[in-house]
Amino acid sequence: MRLLVLELVKFGLVGGSGVAVNLVVFNLLLHGAGSGAMTATVLASCVAMGTNYLGFRFFAYRDRASRTRGQIALFFVFSGIGVAMESVLFYAAYHGAGLSGPLGSNIAKALSIVLASAFRFLVYRTWVFQHEHDARRP
């Protein structure tokens, strides 16, 4: 249980920095550069995905990050699914629930990040950054 809590803390630290990157890039694109809401959310999520990979690889899961092509591919496949989930959730909140405007768009973005992060945590720990003994199980 203690190891799981430590893993959650490390995931939270990396994820928190990724959320910050995601929100900053999102706001720069949407409110600063005048990009469309969906363009801003997808691009911001992709930038955060890259920074998160570095944080997970070198901090949160450094004890089980093998840096194989397979691991990198799995990370980006599952992260891409996470970006798609986040984008659908953002769209539903932004357009469906009317959370637009500066405050509303940030609430929609934050909610979509949080919900998609639960998926990311499960798949990263289960398939991407496995413990060595887990990877050898049939």
Contact 63, 29 (CB under 8 A): no
Contact 106, 29 (CB under 8 A): no
H-assigned helices in 28-100: 37-55, 69-91
Contact 89, 116 (CB under 8 A): yes
Token reading at 112:
């979509």
- Does pTM top 0.75 for this prediction? yes
Check residue 42 and give its pLDDT: 96
Return per-residue pLDDT of the chain as tens, 138 residues: 788 888 889 888 998 999 999 999 999 999 999 999 999 999 999 999 999 888 988 887 777 766 678 878 888 899 999 999 999 999 999 999 999 989 999 999 999 998 998 888 888 878 887 765 554 444
